[in-house]
Structure 1
Amino acid sequence: MKNIAIRKNTQAILDQYDLNALKKYGQNFLVDANIIHKIAQQANITKETCVIEIGPGIGALTEELAHQAKHVIAFEIDERMKNVLDHELECHNVEVILQDFMKVNLEEVVSTIEEEDVCVVTNLPYYITTDIIKKVLTTPTRINRMVALIQKEVALKLTGEEKSPLSNMIDYVGDIKYCMTVGKSVFIPAPHVDSAVIRIYKERNMDPVLIEVLEAAFKQKRKTMNNNMKALFRNETAQVLAACNINPTKRAQELNIDDFMKLVEERRKRL
């Protein structure tokens, strides 16, 4: 292994290929081999695992994943990285796809993977973190876990008491764990805030009706459930909330996944 993650090696590669981190892609290159090893460890990868990585950059995490897994599929939006990954990654089990992950047909990709065990391990750009996690959770695939390095503030919100559409989706499909904090000093360039590693276990696929209910409930966060649920239940809203034992003056962030599943049942009756 080249150990791309060592700071001097990363800097040498950036200099050799005349690369700089692009803000539009949220690029921050992780330069701590120990942390990269710990991130990979959280995913419980074996030689029977296929890992999907989003945003490999110059390949520091990719290199570690390739060492532990049978197969790595890495989606990279930045075309400048192709030359780097082709020449610097000394791994024969890595497939780099130059494509925006948000435009990928994930269900189709996973259906072609031979390995039964499929997970996602990624250092996510801050600006698109929730969209990518949501895509992984809501696409019906056999991906069963996701380990992601994300902004610490987002990690705390996802694992905290106050609920969001995404945290409710996580509660439905499985569970989430805050694994560790990662300081900003281990990145080139250093971001303005600290990061954190989270692990999500996905035990079942998302219920599409739940997505519809959550989107309606959180559409206007300051409004009560009585107001927001009218988009789905119209003049039956008061009756539905009473049947679900939900206080109509509460806001969506005060409810839990059990409350929303009662609403899902009521919604199904009316479809």
Structure 2
Amino acid sequence: MKDIAKKSNTMYLLEKYNMKATKKFGQNFLIDLNVVQKIVGCTQIDKQTCVIEIGPGIGSLSEQLSYQAGHVVCYEIDTRLKDVLAESLADCDNVEVIFQDFLTVDLKEVVKKYKQEYQRVCIVANLPYYITSDILEYILTSEAMIDSIHVMVQKEVALKLTDVSYHSPLTFMIESIGTSSLDMLISKNVFSPAPRVDSAILSIHIQKTYNPNLTKILKQSFTQKRKTIYNNLKTLFLEDTEKILNECGIDLKKDQKN
């Protein structure tokens, strides 16, 4: 099927297969072709790019990605969509659909495989709001040789993650390996069913590999919001905490607000 994201085509598929969006998977179907094409434009992909898509739904974004990318591999957790995707993406020869929970994928090995054939590997997704942070953290800490990440998230989340004055383990993870930007705002009215909030495209351009040792330090630093970084980290570094913070030029009284 061509132009899946057109409202009439989306509704046709949903009605034909008696599909309804489920809260369990945080599903909201895009019904604006123009918006989908603009999202693809934000990714700057080409035929030398392999795209990993998380949660293709009925294939609206997958189809448009396939026109620009060399290969698109989609991970979908909802097995109810097998017949829908078999029909909607039947003409997209460079799209591969795998029915598996993305959070169980060995991303490092998958990316390594596709890097043998393609110059770039990027991730594109319309992420469920309830699991956005978990998926982003999973990607960032995977040590996979990904070139960029382009995800649709809740507008407020995108604003926070691109605000240099906002601090969280996730923002520091992003900062440690690359840069982030808010590339596009998306109205809640281009979805069916319409969510309660607007969305945005968050892009992360990766320049270096993540250091796995950072995760434990970041998580511990933010364990108790009212404590200073020294008090949070001394359970990790014991009597060496003050020395380590001084060597790094970090104020012992520094907290999460500053």
Q: Normalised by the size of structure 1, how large is the TM-score?
A: 0.90
User: Tell me, what secondary structure is at the counterpart of 2:79?
Assistant: coil
Q: State the percentage of identical aligned residues.
A: 49
Whole-Å Cα distance in 1 between the matches of residues 235 and 147 of structure 2? 33
Whole-Å Cα distance in 2 between the matches of residues 167 and 119 of structure 1? 19
State the one-letter code of the partner of 2:148: R
Structure 1 residue 105, shift from structure 2 partner: 0.8
Which among 101, 120, 123 is matched to residue 120 of structure 1? Answer: 123
User: Tell me, what secondary structure is at the counterpart of 1:143?
Assistant: coil
Whole-Å Cα distance in 2 between the matches of residues 209 and 218 of structure 1? 15
Whole-Å Cα distance in 2 between the matches of residues 242 and 112 of structure 1? 42
Number of corresponding residues = 254
Q: 1:182 — aligned with what? A: 186
Instruction: Map residues 1-271 of structure 1 onto 2, 5 A cutoff.
Output: 2-89=2-89, 90-113=91-114, 114-160=117-163, 161-254=165-258
Whole-Å Cα distance in 2 between the matches of residues 239 and 141 of structure 1? 33
Structure 1 residue 253, shift from structure 2 partner: 4.8
Q: 1:257 — aligned with what? A: none
Alignment RMSD: 1.2
State the one-letter code of the partner of 1:57: G
Contact 1:137 1:202 in 2 (8 A): no
Contact 1:172 1:206 in 2 (8 A): yes
Structure 1 residue 66, shift from structure 2 partner: 0.7
Deviation digits for residues 210-246 of structure 1 (CA, Å, limit 9, x no counterpart): 2221111112222211210112211232333233332
User: Tell me, what secondary structure is at the counterpart of 1:204?
Assistant: coil
User: Tell me, what secondary structure is at the counterpart of 2:147?
Assistant: strand
Deviation digits for residues 250-269 of structure 1 (CA, Å, limit 9, x no counterpart): 21352xxxxxxxxxxxxxxx
Whole-Å Cα distance in 2 between the matches of residues 37 and 253 of structure 1? 39
User: Tell me, what secondary structure is at the counterpart of 1:230?
Assistant: helix
Structure 1 residue 28, shift from structure 2 partner: 0.5
Q: Which runs of 4+ in 1 moved over 3 A?
A: none
State the one-letter code of the partner of 2:110: V
Q: Normalised by the size of structure 2, how large is the TM-score?
A: 0.95
Whole-Å Cα distance in 1 between the matches of residues 154 and 257 of structure 2? 21
Please, which runs of 5 or more residues in structure 1 have no aligned partner?
255-271
Whole-Å Cα distance in 2 between the matches of residues 7 and 141 of structure 1? 36
Greater mean deviation of Cα atoms: 10-19 or 135-144: 135-144
Structure 1 residue 115, shift from structure 2 partner: 1.4
Whole-Å Cα distance in 2 between the matches of residues 242 and 111 of structure 1? 39
